[in-house]
Amino acid sequence: MTKAVQIKGVSKKYGSYQAIKKVSFDIHDNEFFTLLGPSGCGKTTLLRMIAGFETPTTGNIILHGQNIENLPANKRRVNTVFQNYALFPHMNLEENIGFGLEMLGWKKDKRECRVNEMLKLVHMEQFAKRFPSELSGGQQQRIALARALAPEPEVLLLDEPLSALDLKLRQAMREELQDLQRQTGITFIFVTHDQEEALAMSDRICVLAHGEIQHLDSPINIYENPTNRFVADFIGDTNFLDVNVTGSNVHATSIETPLGINIDVPASGVKVGQDAVMSLRPEKISINKSVDGVSLPGRVMHRTYMGGYTHYTIQLSSGADLRVSMRNNISNNINYDLNEAVTLGFSPASVRVLGE
């Protein structure tokens, strides 16, 4: 697989503050790659170093095999789309898209052809003569994307480009961004703190916290097999319970749980005696359904009806609480009442044991 960007031992200090702590990873060509993490974790800093707006304190950034350390931002074949669109207000849309091409010395005919192609790509060809102030936020962001993609950059950097849009539009734009990436074949590096956005669009996600990589993998692997407690907590919802690890080998981890049961769960690498939690996603637990695994009696303490889902908090006879999420579909449209006695079921294979 060709590497579009290689981050090699890159760190960044602002004064004495270490914003990025020596990270190394590769981004593949033609990949939709996401940097995900809470505010302040360093994702924008990483993006700005790739763009050339910041210089790494240590390490190298390689773009398609070339060390770009001494290449200024405007010489890198990397473009950025920002949250606030940053369109030129006094230029109409075709001028906005064509401006960068003119700066790069593209001839008029070739430029006009590319501008039209880009307007078509983002479904805005009928608005060519309008000014940015005559567009909705979503339309402005599409033009910002067209402008950034026009000079055929090797890599497109997207810094929280959807966060100024309302929820419905944000969801619709996720599909558009994915389509744009597939159609153009350009490597996208997307920055967000929104885990749903990251799961929905990315080929791979790099989860960051405190300037360090916590987990880098496909959305499914990050959700199903998080490397640590931070990742399990940050991506999706889960139940955490403190456990004692009583056995550990390459096949399984044996745990003593506060649910009043001891179980063997998938191997975790956590050693006997080490501080550990078990993570069990709310949708992996069933109510009043016979399952091949664990059955535990409990009582409904809270119920939140969400339309497509109902979320329950169930208190077990051991005293532990578990949150359960039930999809309200045709075959499963029952709502349990407060205080109703129920039986929870889950498979030990759904449990993940994580070190602190």
Ligand X SMILES: Nc1ncnc2c1ncn2[C@@H]1O[C@H](COP(=O)(O)OP(=O)(O)OP(=O)(O)O)[C@@H](O)[C@H]1O
Least distance from ligand X to the Cβ atom of residue 154, Å: 23
Contacting residue, 43, 147, 229, 323, with ligand X by CB under 6 A: 43
Contacting residue, 5, 10, 33, 44, with ligand X by CB under 6 A: 44
Pull the structure tokens for residue 116.
Answer: 């039209």
Residue 7 engages ligand X in binding (rule: CB under 6 A): no
Q: Which stretch binds ligand X (CB under 6 A): 43-51, 222-230, 292-300, 311-319?
A: 43-51
Backbone angles phi, psi at 266, to 5 degrees: -55, 145
Pull the structure tokens for residue 5.
Answer: 């960007």
Pull the structure tokens for residue 134.
Answer: 């005559």
Least distance from ligand X to the Cβ atom of residue 82, Å: 12
Hunting for tokens 């029952």 — which residue is that? 334
**Shortest-Cβ-distance residue relative to ligand X:** 44
Least distance from ligand X to the Cβ atom of residue 37, Å: 6
User: SS3 for 212?
Assistant: strand
Residue 213 engages ligand X in binding (rule: CB under 6 A): no
Q: Which stretch binds ligand X (CB under 6 A): 1-9, 41-49, 293-301, 332-340?
A: 41-49
Q: Of 285, 287, 270, 273, whose CA–CA distance to 336 is shortest?
A: 287
Neighbours of 240 (CB within 10 A): 13
Contacting residue, 1, 16, 39, 72, with ligand X by CB under 6 A: 39
Contacting residue, 193, 210, 299, 303, with ligand X by CB under 6 A: 193
User: SS3 for 305?
Assistant: strand
Residue 41 engages ligand X in binding (rule: CB under 6 A): yes
Lateral strand order in the sheet of 262-266: 262-266, 252-256, 239-248, 276-280, 352-355
N-term to C-term CA, the chain: 34
Least distance from ligand X to the Cβ atom of residue 14, Å: 3
Q: Which stretch binds ligand X (CB under 6 A): 34-42, 77-85, 97-105, 214-222?
A: 34-42
Q: Which is nearer to ligand X, 45 or 181 (CB)?
A: 45
Least distance from ligand X to the Cβ atom of residue 229, Å: 20
Q: CB-based contacts of 306: which residues, under 8 Å, 6+ apart?
A: none
